[in-house]
């Protein structure tokens, strides 16, 4: 009937809760829970980001990234060329 968390029964959970209240005080527990929740969300987001490594990328994704990189390089080259022409510098 009662949910068991990590093999702990109701009595053990109540003892742990009582110790937490004694250590931190009842007013600090909501703040502690909020901070723990934030840390858990950050941890979850970071571990999810680890799965997005190059190992999991498809061939199409790699080709798209390569085309985007080439387009950015071409744009950079064009801007540099226009800047040199504006200065009157014809050396590459």
pLDDT of 1 strictly over 50: no
Contacts of 91 (CB under 8 A, 6+ apart): 84
Residue 24: domain span: 1-54
| 23 and 40 assigned to the same domain | yes
Q: Could you give the CA distance from residue 66 to residue 68 in angstroms, rounded to a whole number?
A: 5
**12-65 pLDDT tens trace:** 888 988 888 888 887 887 888 888 889 888 888 888 777 655 566 788 888 888
| 25 and 49 assigned to the same domain | yes
**63-89 pLDDT tens trace:** 888 899 899 999 888 888 887 887 776
| 9 and 46 assigned to the same domain | yes
Segment 2-6 shows an average pLDDT of: 57
Segment 5-18 shows an average pLDDT of: 82
């Amino acid at each position: 009937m009662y949910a068991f968390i990590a093999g702990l029964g109701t009595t053990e959970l109540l003892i742990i809760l009582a110790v937490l209240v004694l250590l931190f005080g009842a007013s600090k527990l909501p703040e502690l829970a909020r901070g723990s929740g934030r840390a858990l969300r950050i941890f979850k987001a970071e571990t999810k980001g680890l799965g997005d490594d190059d190992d999991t990328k498809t061939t199409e994704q790699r080709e798209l990234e390569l085309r985007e990189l080439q387009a950015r390089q071409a744009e950079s080259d064009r801007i540099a060329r226009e800047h040199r022409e504006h200065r009157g510098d014809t050396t590459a």
